Structure 1
């Protein structure tokens, strides 16, 4: 059975690319950098995508470390999105760099690497997706 797992609403009111993002009770901004014609008032959409994957991995790793009672004081996940510009049909790549502060041996570090790859967004982004755009009737202002 299909179920909605996340929702975001974005409204752009003509202030170039700067857009208001609403996710549940959270208000954010999305924009493009100045060199791409934006005002750089917030992260670009691709940056939010990287942040979503990085935070999902960090949260999954923290849950696992807590369950195992491992000494992990800091989990740092950096995600770079590399877009293949050669061919449209070639896949893009997320490079995820993991680092930890704490008292961990090599076996624990290897296990954390495996766990990072099992976070829900890693699994979601590893599968093909369908994007369906539906049009509402325009509102007259």
Structure 2
């Protein structure tokens, strides 16, 4: 199992996230009591989806030898409190010499990234105290 270690001290909301030899700071905006030192947890989730989708599109285009110069994906989400439905929205821009068929295939491939499969699948979180 790959492990992310999250550590918070006495500083309100500032959390260090460590994966292997990389550290990222998560925090909350000032208006909710944080110091705005890093991504919010929601932004980290949105970032995971955006990064995974861009990487998947890049890998597929490279494998096919297509002329994809750049991919830019904006991710946000909407929460319906009444139905408990969460909808992630991805706006994908593809830059390069691509025809419509290639563009549609890359759009499809972007939805097949592992993170999207995780968040749209049957997810269970198991927690235990150590």
TM-score after normalising by structure 1? 0.88
- How many pairs were matched up? 130
- Aligned residue for 1:59? 55
Superposed displacement of residue 81, structure 1: 1.9
- Aligned residue for 2:46? 50
Look up the SS of the partner of 2:128 in the other structure.
coil
**Are 1:15 and 2:15 an aligned pair?**
no
**Are 1:126 and 2:120 an aligned pair?**
yes
Instruction: Specify which of 118, 125, 135 is matched with residue 129 of structure 2.
Output: 135
Runs (4+) of structure 1 exceeding 6 A deviation are none
Q: Which has the higher strand share?
A: 2
Superposed displacement of residue 105, structure 1: 0.9
State the Cα deviation string for residues 38-76 of structure 1 (Å, max 9, x = none): 100000011000000100000000000001111111101
Say which one has the larger Rg: 1
Instruction: Specify which of 95, 106, 121 is matched with residue 100 of structure 2.
Output: 106
Q: Unaligned regions of 5+ residues in structure 1, if any?
A: 137-141
Look up the SS of the partner of 1:86 in the other structure.
coil
- Aligned residue for 2:85? 91
**Are 1:28 and 2:24 an aligned pair?**
yes
- Aligned residue for 1:76? 72
Instruction: Quote the RMSD (CA, aligned, Å).
Output: 1.1
